[in-house]
Amino acid sequence: MAPIIGQFDCQPLGHAIMGLFHEMQARRDMATCALWLDLVESYVESFTEPWRREERLVAVWSAVRRDLSRPWVLADLAGLAGLSGEHLRRLCQSSLGRSPMQQLANLRVQHAAHLLATTNSKIEVIAESVGYRNPFAFSDVFKRVTGVRPSQFRSRRRASL
């Protein structure tokens, strides 16, 4: 993940963080906390995801997010952007600092982390919902991206609540 430095209005993000903080201090309603967390993530993504500023990448990653379980290959992604696979790879590398397939893995892991934190679904079910037919392969990718296995991620999230 490439670091991003830039100007943005931090007030809405601050309000969302304070809403989450107050919910955790008061009622600790996990459904409401999940909504606050989604709002925080949305504000952060609007600043940190440079693909949203590159029109050709918007079509690609928006389609991928709508169907994470699909077995995406580079040719599919390039077709959505109207580019060759190599041109898409160069565009992703310059805009995101990673290849299209690395970005795909990151999006899948982000969504899986959200599901692990907000649902009681089995890890195998979450793995399949984000495009991994093999839960062991999913666990390996999840660990490579986050530094922990999905089961550790879930147990740490529950221990912190």
The DSSP annotation for 70-112 comes to: S---HHHHHHHHTS-HHHHHHHHHHHHSS-HHHHHHHHHHHHH
Domain(s) labelled CATH 1.10.10.60 in the chain stretch across 51-161
Q: Is the distance from CB of 51 to CB of 58 less than 8 angstroms?
A: yes
What's residue 48's pLDDT?
A: 66
- 51-161 topology per CATH: Arc Repressor Mutant, subunit A (1.10.10)
> What residues contact 139, with CB distance under 8 A and at least 6 apart?
123, 127, 149, 150, 151
| Secondary element (H or E) of residue 33 | helix 30-48
Give the containing element (helix H, strand E) for 135: helix 135-146
What local confidence, expressed as pLDDT, does residue 2 receive? 46
pTM: 0.70
- Dihedral pair phi/psi, residue 68, rounded to 5°: -65, -25
**Rounded-to-integer distance, Cα 50 and Cα 70, Å:** 23
Note every long-range contact of 23-31, with CB atoms under 8 Å and residues 24 or more positions apart, other chains counting. Answer: 24/161, 28/161, 30/118, 30/161
Question: Which pLDDT belongs to residue 155?
Answer: 85
Q: Of 159, 119, 161, give the one whose Cα is nearest residue 23.
A: 161
Give residue 1's pLDDT: 40
* Amino acid at the residue 31: A
Q: Mean pLDDT for each consecutive 10-residue tract of the chain (161 residues)?
A: 60 89 81 81 71 77 94 96 95 87 93 90 97 96 91 79 57
Residue 32 contacts by C-beta under 8 Å, 6 or more apart in sequence? 23
